């Protein structure tokens, strides 16, 4: 074992030991960015980058489990990603399908797909739904996998769902407008029934949300990490948690 590994191991243990267990996040969101850049830097193919990113997700979920995180939301495919070349998109979808199947086979976490799956090829969406459905009775950490997800798309779908629901009850647009409350919209989001994320982590050095959980993250804490997602280490994760635990959350006040 290299000396650097020993040093990092000791540093990780010290970080974890010093965490205040009363101040840890219960819902962690992650924008898993940088797979293609990692592949380019490594002299590997794009597919290798996607696979390395998928492999990291399993590690990340175990790290969250160790700290008793209750919900993890991972953004793995955006609506913008759907515009990529057909061959590249097909490879990415295959990696995501295999990821879901692998996570489901462990029987450890309850998976939920978040996004507009109608935007995906029907056979791919069906395989993803099947894998997630196999975990419906799992009593473990909830894991939201955002596929075909975009914040604006979610809000559009939420408003469409709300208006159709009200129309089915015979309500006019004027009646809906007069009585509309914030909670009415929240009930039609992809994450309805779930608490909002406490902490959102983004890798790759980008310091923006790019539309991730626009509604739900209004009071979230953010942590931006320079590491590309496949190179994201447990020590990076613990630093994010330490940063969160040190903050005084004000919830807009």
Q: Catalytic positions, please?
A: 33, 81
User: Rounded to the nearest 5°, which phi and psi values hold at 232?
Assistant: -70, 125
Distance CA(128)–CA(117), nearest Å, equals 9
Q: 93, 54 in Cβ contact below 8 A? A: no
DSSP annotation string for 171-193: --HHHHHHH--HHHHHTTSTTTT
Q: 138, 108 in Cβ contact below 8 A? A: yes
Distance CA(120)–CA(97), nearest Å, equals 12
- Burial grade of 18 (CB within 10 A; 0-12, 13-18, 19 or more): exposed
- List for the chain the helix, strand, coil content (%; round to 5): 50, 15, 35
Distance CA(67)–CA(240), nearest Å, equals 13
Helix (H, G, I), strand (E, B) or coil at 103: helix
State the Cα angle at 147 between 34 and 44, rounded to 5°. 30
């Amino acid at each position: 074992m290299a000396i650097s590994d020993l040093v990092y191991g000791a540093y990780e243990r010290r970080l974890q030991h010093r965490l205040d267990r009363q101040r840890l996040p219960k819902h962690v969101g992650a924008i898993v960015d940088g797979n293609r850049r990692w592949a380019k830097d490594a002299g590997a193919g794009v597919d290798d980058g996607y696979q390395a990113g998928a492999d990291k997700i399993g590690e990340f979920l175990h790290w969250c489990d160790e700290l008793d995180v209750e919900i993890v939301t991972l953004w793995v495919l955006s609506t913008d990603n759907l515009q990529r070349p057909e061959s590249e998109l097909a490879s990415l979808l295959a990696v995501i399908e295999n990821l879901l199947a692998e996570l489901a086979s462990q029987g450890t976490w309850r998976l939920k797909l978040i996004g507009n799956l109608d935007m995906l090829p029907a056979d791919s969406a069906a395989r993803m739904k099947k894998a997630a459905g196999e975990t419906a009775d799992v009593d473990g950490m909830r894991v939201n996998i955002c596929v075909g997800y975009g914040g604006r798309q979610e809000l559009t779908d939420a408003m469409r769902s709300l208006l159709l629901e009200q129309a089915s009850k015979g309500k006019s647009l004027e009646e809906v407008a007069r009585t509309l409350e914030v909670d009415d919209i929240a009930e039609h989001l992809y994450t309805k029934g779930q608490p909002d994320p406490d902490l959102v982590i983004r890798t790759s050095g980008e310091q923006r949300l790019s539309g991730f959980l626009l509604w739900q993250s209004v009071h979230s804490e953010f942590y931006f990490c320079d590491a590309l997602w496949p190179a994201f280490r447990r020590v990076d994760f613990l630093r994010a948690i330490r940063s969160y635990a040190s903050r005084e959350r004000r919830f807009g006040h």
